[in-house]
């Protein structure tokens, strides 16, 4: 009995302690919730094999500004046809060049309005005035692109207001809040004066002659033309009304364009007018740029002279900003020698603060030194993927965007001529993701860069533009600890640029919350 009793006592004790053993401790695992930016990046990665979903994503993504945008090239051909029809203009039914009335039937000219009831003529005009279906035109894309401007030029006359309205409305649709639009503010007045005065080989004496010939009148005309166009744009978009177009909220500044293919007298006069306008804050012209094909005969012949012109005028008008088309070339488009110095001279000689295109950077003499200099000086490159593909045939891995990013050169995406290219800013972001492999964080950086390096007046919101470290006054506002702080409000009141940047940050934050 004693043995059985002892056994029972042990069994009872064992059963009484069953289930009371301490649980095994598992090693602690730190779980951190992904930030909205990280979740957004993951979502974009998850849809990389679905272009339609990517398109929907980029259409809604806030993009900041579009800094490289030719106003006449931004307009879709359909608008030019409608305006030309309303004005009673003519079109050559073979070359599709629009011209003033009366129509010359012997020259195969007909009223543009006839295209509104002739579907064949209508689509032929649209194709001729843009890059739509250019593959079937029998022409090379370079010439097809640049020749469109000659064809629709007459249709742009007295249409700056409607053109601004269309550009602003489309920018708003693409979540763009700021535009820098290239145009000719004085409607050709400086060209007339420049042709009369001509270039005498000396920038100093030629400037004196232009002033004596009344170049200030071109400046006055430019200011008035832009004010009138802005007022018409406001009216067309119903700004201030309940049903106002979202384009009313897009801020616009202007870049005076200089026709680099013209005679040196005209080129210098246009430069002077541009610099004078960009030195007057009330004009809303913030800088100037050279336009027209970089590979054209006059452009190549006079390139170095034009850089010296700009170098001199920068000393006379130090407040004016300068962005230059440079490196919009590829092998075969121009002789190899001309691919070796255009970007360098634009930066080092002319003093450009931004470069448009920069496609041939690796063909420059000592490109790595130049890349380092551009990164150190903060010379931003305006990247136009659709345009570079269509005009130069440069895309994908052949495009230098990845090289600029690798060497720390600031870049931003731009449309160039979205109407002619049949593109829009959201498509540029889509191409950057699909063809260049950029991730969300990189694309977000490019959107921020578009405002950081914009010529809009005021100090930047970022103390460090590389790491996007805000100025001390606005740290609480951006970290969410405070909203609308007094110090930040005072800082913003003196800077249109910082206001745009802070608005972009808010829009990006709201966008990322969706994911």
pLDDT (tens digit per residue) in 89-98: 999 999 999 9
Domain closes at, from 438, 473, 501: 438
* pLDDT tens digits, one per residue of 153-172: 999 999 999 999 999 999 99
Domain closes at, from 135, 156, 177: 156
Number of domains in the chain: 3
Residue 32: pLDDT band (50, 70, 90) is: low
In a domain, 422, yes or no: yes
Q: Specify the pTM.
A: 0.91
Return mean pLDDT, the chain.
93
In the three-class reduction of DSSP (H, G, I as helix; E, B as strand; rest coil), residue 232 is classed as: helix
On whether both 379 and 480 belong to a single domain, the answer is no
On whether both 421 and 477 belong to a single domain, the answer is no
Burial 271-296 (b: 16+ CB within 10 A, else e): bbbbbbbbbeeebbbbbbbbbbbbbe
8 A C-beta contact, residue 204 and residue 268: no
In a domain, 447, yes or no: no
CA atoms of 420 and 145, how far apart (whole Å):
7
CA atoms of 381 and 409, how far apart (whole Å):
8
In a domain, 271, yes or no: yes
Residue 33: pLDDT band (50, 70, 90) is: confident
Q: Mean per-residue pLDDT for 408-437?
A: 98
CA atoms of 504 and 177, how far apart (whole Å):
8
Residue 65 sits in a domain whose CATH number is 3.20.20.140
* pLDDT tens digits, one per residue of 465-506: 888 999 999 998 887 777 778 999 999 999 999 999 999 999
CA atoms of 148 and 134, how far apart (whole Å):
11
On whether both 125 and 182 belong to a single domain, the answer is no
Structural tokens at position 98: 């629009």
On whether both 174 and 293 belong to a single domain, the answer is yes
8 A C-beta contact, residue 253 and residue 179: yes
* pLDDT tens digits, one per residue of 71-106: 999 999 999 999 999 999 999 999 999 999 999 999
Domain closes at, from 106, 136, 156: 156
Any bridge partners for residue 325, and if so which? 356
* pLDDT tens digits, one per residue of 263-322: 999 999 999 999 999 999 999 999 999 999 999 999 999 999 999 999 999 999 999 999
Give the range of the structural domain holding residue 92, as residue numbers without chain letter.
Answer: 75-156
In a domain, 40, yes or no: no
Lowest mean per-residue pLDDT among 23-32, 187-196, 382-391, 474-483: 23-32
On whether both 333 and 470 belong to a single domain, the answer is no
CA atoms of 384 and 189, how far apart (whole Å):
30
Specify the pLDDT at position 15.
Answer: 39
In a domain, 16, yes or no: no
On whether both 79 and 138 belong to a single domain, the answer is yes
Specify the pLDDT at position 484.
Answer: 74
On whether both 298 and 216 belong to a single domain, the answer is yes
pLDDT at 21 over 80: no
8 A C-beta contact, residue 326 and residue 294: yes
Q: Mean per-residue pLDDT for 26-38?
A: 67
Q: Nearest 10 degrees: CA dihedral of 41, 47, 50, 51?
A: -10
In a domain, 515, yes or no: yes
8 A C-beta contact, residue 360 and residue 330: yes
Lowest mean per-residue pLDDT among 19-28, 65-74, 423-432, 481-490: 19-28
């Amino acid at each position: 009995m004693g043995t059985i009793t002892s056994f029972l006592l042990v069994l009872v004790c064992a059963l009484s302690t069953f289930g009371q053993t301490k649980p095994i401790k598992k090693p602690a695992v730190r779980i951190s919730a992904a930030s909205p930016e990280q979740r957004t990046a993951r979502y974009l990665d998850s849809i990389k094999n679905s272009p339609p979903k990517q398109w929907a994503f980029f259409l809604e993504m806030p993009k900041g500004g579009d800094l490289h945008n030719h106003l006449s090239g931004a307009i879709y051909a359909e608008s030019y046809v409608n305006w030309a029809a309303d004005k009673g203009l003519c079109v050559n039914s073979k070359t599709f060049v629009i011209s003033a009335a009366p129509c010359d039937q012997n020259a195969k000219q007909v009223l543009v309005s006839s295209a509104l009831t002739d579907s064949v003529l209508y689509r032929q005009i649209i194709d001729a005035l843009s890059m739509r279906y250019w593959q079937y035109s029998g022409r090379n894309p370079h010439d097809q692109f640049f020749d469109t401007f000659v064809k629709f030029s007459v249709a742009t006359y007295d249409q700056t207001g409607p053109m601004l309205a269309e550009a602003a409305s489309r920018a708003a649709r693409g979540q763009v809040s700021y535009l820098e639009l290239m145009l000719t503010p004085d409607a050709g007045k400086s060209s007339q004066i420049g042709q009369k005065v001509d270039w005498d080989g000396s920038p100093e004496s030629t400037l004196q002659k232009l002033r004596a010939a009344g170049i200030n009148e071109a400046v006055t005309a430019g200011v008035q033309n832009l004010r009138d166009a802005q007022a018409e744009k406001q009216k067309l978009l119903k700004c201030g009304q309940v049903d106002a177009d979202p384009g009313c909220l897009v801020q616009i500044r202007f870049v005076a364009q200089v026709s680099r293919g013209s005679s040196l007298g005209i080129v210098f006069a246009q430069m002077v007018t541009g610099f004078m306008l960009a030195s007057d804050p009330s004009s809303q012209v913030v800088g100037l740029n050279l336009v027209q094909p970089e590979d054209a005969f006059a452009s190549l012949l006079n390139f170095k002279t034009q850089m010296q012109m700009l170098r001199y005028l920068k000393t006379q008008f130090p407040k004016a900003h300068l962005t230059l088309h440079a490196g919009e070339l590829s092998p075969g488009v121009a002789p190899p020698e001309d691919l070796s110095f255009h970007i360098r001279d634009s930066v080092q000689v002319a003093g450009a603060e931004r470069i448009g295109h920069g496609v041939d950077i690796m063909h420059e003499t000592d490109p790595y030194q130049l890349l380092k200099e551009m990164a150190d000086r903060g010379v931003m490159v305006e990247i136009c993927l659709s345009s570079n593909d269509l005009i130069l045939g440069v895309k994908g891995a052949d495009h230098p965007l990845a090289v600029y990013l690798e060497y720390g050169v600031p870049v931003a995406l731009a449309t160039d001529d979205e109407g002619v290219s049949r593109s829009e800013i959201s498509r540029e972001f889509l191409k950057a993701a699909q063809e260049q492999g950029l991730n969300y964080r990189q694309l977000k950086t490019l959107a921020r860069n578009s405002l950081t390096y914009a010529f809009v007046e005021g100090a930047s919101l970022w103390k460090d533009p590389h790491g996007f470290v805000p100025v001390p006054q606005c740290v609480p506002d951006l970290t969410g600890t405070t909203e609308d702080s007094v110090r930040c409000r005072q800082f913003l009141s003196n800077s249109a640029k910082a206001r745009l940047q802070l608005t972009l940050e808010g829009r990006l934050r709201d966008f990322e919350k969706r994911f």
